[in-house]
Amino acid sequence: MGVQKKSRKYAQMKRAISLRDSRLKENQEKSKQKTEEKKDDIVREAPQVSSALFFQYNTALTPPYSVLVDTNFLSHTIQRKLEVIPTMMDCLYAKCIPVITDCVLAELEKLGPKYRLALRIAKDPKFERIKCDHKGTYADDCLVDRVIKHRVYIVATNDRDLKRRIRKVPGVPIMSVARGKYVIERLPDAPEK
């Protein structure tokens, strides 16, 4: 037979109050000070909005359009066997200049031999190259940062997360590959599809 373990009953144990308990006067004073400091930190300024925006309409977007191209946009274009520049011109009914950043090019190089055709297309002299001026090499952050600073770009991507991030930036149209052609959203003059 084993020895029966004796444990104290809950109600009979003495309960000590901890030093971080909110009922202590010192802790109540500290919490009041923190809330007052937070009230002082509130900034009551609205962010600077681009002067090219007229509600959601971006007046800075005029032909020839500069189209920021993403990695997966190029890969989807190749899968659908589309030519980049002529298909863009068919979509926008105007001259287009595909623009590629150093981060997107680096991402294509990292992806290896599977994306060599996309890399070859990206290195085409018809594509305009842009140097990046930020930390890191994450292409999505690069594109969003570029679009926020300069509202003269159309972003070409099929990435859901990147589309979601860009939709939060007013006045930036998004181009994507769908059903064997390019489609554009949020461009005011674009015909509805």
Query: Where would I find the H helices in the chain?
Result: 25-41, 71-79, 84-92, 102-111, 116-122, 139-149, 160-167
Question: Which letter does DSSP use for residue 34 in this model?
Answer: H
| Domain ranges (residues) in the chain | 62-185
Q: What are the residues facing 58 on neighbouring strands? A: 53
Spatial distance between the Cα atoms of 22 and 34, rounded to a whole number of angstroms: 14
Topology (CATH) of 62-185 = Rossmann fold (3.40.50)
8 A C-beta contact, residue 122 and residue 74? yes
For every one of its 193 residues, what pLDDT tens digit does the chain have, with 9 covering 90 and above?
667 777 666 556 666 778 878 888 888 888 888 888 777 666 666 566 677 776 667 888 889 999 999 999 999 999 999 999 999 999 999 999 999 999 999 999 999 999 999 999 999 999 999 998 888 778 999 999 999 998 899 999 999 999 999 999 888 999 999 999 999 998 876 555 5
